[in-house]
Structure 1
Amino acid sequence: MFGGLVAAPINSPHLRKSGGRAIVSHLADELGNGVEDGHLHPIEVNGLKSASTPMVTVAIAPSPMLLWRFKVLLFLLWAFICSKIGWHSVMRMSVDLRDLFLYEAFLYYNPLLLVTTMVWLWGINLWVFSQSNVNYAKIFDLDQNHLTHREIWKDFNMFDIRVAKCATWMTIIVPTSMTAYLYLYSHGEVLLAASQPVLLYFAVVMILIFPFDIFYFSSRYYLLRTLWRIVLPLQAISFSDFFLADILTSMAKVFSDLERSVCRMVHRQVATIAWFEADSVCGSHSIAIPLVLVLPYLFRFFQCLRQYKDSGERSTLLNALKYSTAVPVIFLSALKYHVLPDSWINFYRPLWLLSSVLNSLYSFYWDVTRDWDLSGFTSIFKFNKSQLCSHLLHGRIWVYIWVIGSNLILRCTWTYKLSAHLRHNYLTVFTIGALEIFRRFQWIFFRVENEWNKMNSRSNIQPSLNDPTNEEVKLLASDGHNV
């Protein structure tokens, strides 16, 4: 029993000397054939046992699966409580006041809910890029300190990572504030209800501009710096500049609602229905609505002009023309509130419809042929390149048909969001806004892949310029040199 070979793990930390050499190996060197024969002296065995069995206190921690289930249970419980409180709060109101109040509530919380959705989908984009050979950090010129997909989005089935991340907190805080707003207003606490969106917006702004190295300071600085470059394109436009500007065009309605929300907060009209009147400063007929809607398109328009100045490529002018087609859609729609009904029906509405069709088709064409570089629907059925989408979707042509078809449909429905005279049903507006963000989510995959392929092609061409030509090889060979 005590004369057999002692089985001990070689890599055990308790069986190592300070130099890192295993004690069993050391004993084998000293005892020679004794270990090979399978026999050790009883004193040596007892000493080895005493050395290999220290008193260690093992901390008992719950399993990751148990923690995951507990977090999911807490999230479902929180969602149930918020839904129940919100539903009962809305049902307490009168029927005449209910629709107006819900419209106002969505005015404050619709922008942040859509931004939260965009953050989640952007996290999925980054996760897919990280699983492929697309180096998105190189494309966007990011350093190692910026947010990765593990910090933006949490895949509960594949990753065991920290819980408190950006999208998770946004998902919890925004609906909680909205529930408190509904509850307080329905119970007569109008002042406390009015303070909820004000506190939420103030907290978001303070976190975004917080000057200290917490809350992902480098990423916040990168975002603010890029936004500044978009607003004032005084230097060469990088890929991240116009990429973010393209995303901002899909969130034009978000900025419009933000303007109306801030206007109501400044004029102390929160938790009132006076804003719905046509002559209200922050009402639905305000001239500021089309002005804010057109800003992202103007930013992108001036970016294209700056690119043309730097590169001289005529395609940038055609791209600028695409963004300019959104301007008539926005302002012709806003004219409904400032012209006579007969003039609107007979003259301005046909022009609005024509400009809407032109903007939708032009944008769709540019998405497919330029941003995605699918070459007029011909290369989508060819999988001769090791691209991201072609690799993931190899043999699944229906996915490309879905992406192209849905992009065309959602490009047309996006006109609904740019038209101020159609934005009275808040549920429809929110749904179309979410669908536009989903369209942009699909667009990002192909756009980033196209940019990555261009970077690879440029890097492959550059070394070839340094290679000797055939004539140079012949001349070197005739001189007796070995190439």
Structure 2
Amino acid sequence: MDVVEPAGDRELKYFDLLLPLPYRVALSLVLGTKGGEVFAEHQLIETGLGIWAWGANLQYLSHLKIDVPSLIRHQHGISPRSSLSDYLSTYRLALVVSIPLLFSLILFWPLTHLKATLVLYYNFFPMVYLGFVVGVFCLPARGLAASGRSQFLSMLRRISIGGLALSKNMKFADILLADVLTSYSKVLSDFFAAIWALASSTLGTGDASACAGRTLVPLITAIPPLIRFRQCLTEYLRLRASGGPGSGGQHLANALKYASAFPIIFLTPPPLGQQAETLEEGSPARKLLSSSWLLAVVLNSLYSFYWDVARDWDLTLFSSLAQSVRTLRPLSRRSQTQARQGPSFPFGLRSQRWFPRAGFYYSAILLDLFLRFTWILKVSPYSEYFGTVESGMMLLVWAEIFRRWIWLFLRLETEWIRRAADRVHEALDATELEGEEVTSRGYV
């Protein structure tokens, strides 16, 4: 059968031929962007960066005796199953979706010979696999935690409109999933673009459809931060309505962090190489747009980095730096006076730590800082590669996936420490209450 070469084939790069957009979305889903599994026996909702990545989170944290399932399950109490079965079950699901992916690629590459015409002709291969992955989660089969993953879908539906559960465990699971969603905004928009491109080519809607797709992609990208923005406002309103402790300012500050992502999404300029011609023409509007985007992305990156370290991980890096500046004590001399004047834990960390080496925390901080600022590559001399070439853009997506994976280790550890502190405070309050009751009965 003769295949007519579609217009625009010459523009397909080698990376597009090797891994078309739907396959790149699939790899992100399986390896490191999104995964969800629920053990029906535990009422455990597993939400993570990816199925394999989430399994690694579970495995290492269980090695540290951090019971992740107890943080996000519906019901309290110790699970009858071992932590070993928790992450093994996750790996089993990962295999179920990974083996068909490999099989699909093994068929796709010989059939296409990495030729643009054949890649476009067989573009239904990756779409069929994406449909399979969606089916695994939406129509869970027996033996793969069917009832559990249906609860995951229920949670996904709840947070899709910015909803937030009332119970502490499920609220944390909702927030965790929504936070992870923000790291694959690009993958969501890529998934939409793949579906839109397939529908456009099938229906023959032409340039008008492509233009509409480019308009809708920023809206799709903005959905995850919008979800977290609404969740933060919900937490604030609930706190104010209940009359609980505090003014709720932290929730508003967190909402502001997610709101700061919207200017970045909607003001994103073309790559530097494409801007140059417009700027040489002296367009004030283009200069204003580029400057506004740059200011927005700098503020968002700094604010988000601060929030990761100080709020999500409860590390004392910024307060320790501020204290050092106030006392005019050089950081190199801090170790000499720490035992006498300073805290009893390494500089910038906290007293309670479950990871055995302080270097892990410092490495996580540096990685978070570096990967929060990968956008610099888009305005560097390499902007053409990272801004327009698919392989470069995919590297940035996977860098964000890796950052979120490291973030999860410390975020789950922090929540484990907070829950332990809450239990201690509840026990002390109960003891004081019992003492008051005994005293009051003694005077009757």
TM-score by shorter chain over 0.5: yes
Residue 315 of structure 1 deviates from its aligned partner by 0.3
Residue 142 of structure 1 deviates from its aligned partner by 5.2
Q: Which residue of 2 aligns with 1:221?
A: 150
Distance 2:212 2:419 in 1: 46
Output aligned runs, 1:252-401, within 5 Å. 252-268=185-201, 279=207, 281-282=209-210, 286-312=214-240, 313-333=248-268, 342-343=283-284, 345-377=286-318, 378=320, 381=347, 385-389=351-355, 392-393=356-357, 397-401=358-362
Picking from 365, 371, 386, the partner of 1:410 is: 371
Distance 1:191 1:437 in 2: 28
Q: Which residue of 1 aligns with 2:99?
A: 172
Distance 1:100 1:345 in 2: 32
Q: Secondary structure at the match of 2:373?
A: helix
Distance 1:475 1:98 in 2: 81
Q: Please list the CA deviations of residues 223-282 of structure 1 after superposition, one character each: whole Å capped at 9, or x if unmatched.
A: 211211111244545000010110010111110100001112222359x9x98xxx4624
Q: Please list the CA deviations of residues 11-52 of structure 1 after superposition, one character each: whole Å capped at 9, or x if unmatched.
A: xxxxxxxxxxxxxxxxxxxxxxxxxxxxxxxxxxxxxxxxxx
Q: Which residue of 2 aligns with 1:424?
A: 388
Percent identical pairs in the alignment equals 28
Q: Is the 8 A contact 2:316 2:349 kept in 1?
A: no
Bigger Rg, which one: 1
**Unaligned 5+ residue runs, structure 2?**
1-8, 33-50, 241-247, 321-344
Q: Which residue of 1 aligns with 2:87?
A: 149
Q: Please list the CA deviations of residues 386-418 of structure 1 after superposition, one character each: whole Å capped at 9, or x if unmatched.
A: 5322xx22xxx4332221111011011157799
Q: Secondary structure at the match of 2:316?
A: coil
Change (3 A) 1:414 1:299: farther
Distance 2:423 2:437 in 1: 23
Q: Is the 8 A contact 1:369 1:375 kept in 2?
A: yes
Residue 311 of structure 1 deviates from its aligned partner by 1.6
Q: Secondary structure at the match of 2:231?
A: helix
Residue 441 of structure 1 deviates from its aligned partner by 1.1
Q: CA RMSD in A?
A: 3.9
Residue 122 of structure 1 deviates from its aligned partner by 1.2
Picking from 22, 32, 35, the partner of 1:108 is: 22
Distance 1:472 1:348 in 2: 64
Change (3 A) 1:417 1:300: farther
Number of aligned residues? 365
Residue 216 of structure 1 deviates from its aligned partner by 2.2
Distance 1:212 1:96 in 2: 43
Query: What letter is aligned with 1:404?
Result: I
Distance 2:106 2:427 in 1: 60
Distance 1:209 1:417 in 2: 37
Structure 1 position 184 matched with structure 2 position 96: no
Distance 1:296 1:105 in 2: 25
Change (3 A) 1:120 1:211: closer
Q: Is the 8 A contact 1:255 1:292 kept in 2?
A: yes
Query: What letter is aligned with 1:388?
Result: W
Picking from 102, 112, 117, the partner of 2:31 is: 117
Change (3 A) 1:305 1:412: same
Q: Is the 8 A contact 1:253 1:417 kept in 2?
A: no
Query: What letter is aligned with 2:353?
Result: Q
Q: Secondary structure at the match of 1:281?
A: helix
Q: Which residue of 2 aligns with 1:86?
A: none
Q: Is the 8 A contact 1:132 1:388 kept in 2?
A: yes
Q: Please list the CA deviations of residues 124-168 of structure 1 after superposition, one character each: whole Å capped at 9, or x if unmatched.
A: 110122122322111111576998211223xxxxxxxxxxx2223
Distance 2:374 2:69 in 1: 33
Residue 424 of structure 1 deviates from its aligned partner by 1.4
Picking from 202, 226, 229, the partner of 2:131 is: 202
- The structure, 1 or 2, with the larger RCO (C-alpha pairs under 8 Å, 6+ apart) is 2
Moved over 6 A (4+): 335-340, 415-418, 476-479
Q: Is the 8 A contact 2:349 2:361 kept in 1?
A: no
